[in-house]
Amino acid sequence: MTADHSVLNPLEGEIFVVDKPLGWSSFHVVKKLRGALTARLRKAGVRKLKVGHAGTLDPLATGVMILCTGKATKRIDELQAGVKEYIAEIRLGLLLRRLTWKRLSMQYSRRNISHVRVRRMRLNGS
């Protein structure tokens, strides 16, 4: 008998790859997935579902998050040990004056940075 891979089994364990939106914390992403899956499983009598993530992203960061459910949460350490790449954009000369979380708006003021020398650098994490 072959397995039907089109049917999810979150209790047995699934791994989800999610593009985390700007302004959401990692906890928000976990909460949304848990809520959506639990709502569907409630008909089968499931009240709780274990959901975890393999790495935290700042609310001001966007990017890939790996979420695991059920028995797949035991693989989180293995997934976290993988190679990661971080790409960032840095704007010199701007000072964040105000951050509003309700609509995620940011107000900046400009600063003179003519005295700053810019060099290219590569950071290697361990």
Q: Is-contact 19 62, C-beta < 8 A?
A: yes
Phi, psi values for residue 64, rounded to 5°: -80, 130
Residue 77: enclosing H or E segment and its boundaries? helix 76-80
Structure tokens at 117: 């020398």
Is 19 assigned a catalytic role? no
What is the enclosing helix (H) or strand (E) of 29? helix 26-41
- One-letter amino acid at 49 equals L
> Which residue of the set 4, 19, 58, 77 is catalytic?
58
Active-site residues, by number, are 58
